[in-house]
Amino acid sequence: MNNQNPNNKMNLPKTMVAAFFSLIISLVVLILKAKAYYATNSISVLSDALETVINVVTALVALYAVKMAAEPADEEHPYGHGKFEYFSASFEGGLIFFAALAIIFSSVESFFIENKLQNLSEGNLYLISATVLNLIASLFLVYYGKRWNSEALKASGKHIMADVLTTVGVMTGLLLVGATGIVWIDSAVGLLMGLWLVS
Helix axes 83-110, 151-180, angle to 10 degrees: 20
* pLDDT on residue 57: 81
For 99, other C-beta atoms within 10 Å of its C-beta total: 22
Q: Which domains does the chain have, with CATH numbers?
A: 11-110+119-198 (1.20.1510.10)
* pLDDT on residue 41: 92
* pLDDT on residue 86: 59
Asked if residue 58 lies in contact with residue 92, where contact means CB atoms within 8 angstroms, the answer is yes
DSSP class of residue 72? P
* pLDDT on residue 22: 84
DSSP class of residue 8? G
User: Among residues of the chain, what percentage have pLDDT more than 70?
Assistant: 80
Q: Is the pLDDT of residue 12 over 50?
A: yes
How many helical (H) and strand (E) elements, i.e. helices and strands, does the chain have? 6, 0
Angle at 106 between CA 48 and CA 179, to 5 degrees: 60
Report d(CA 54, CA 48) in Å as an integer. 10
Report d(CA 79, CA 121) in Å as an integer. 54
Q: Is the pLDDT of residue 84 over 60?
A: no
* pLDDT on residue 47: 85
DSSP class of residue 148? T
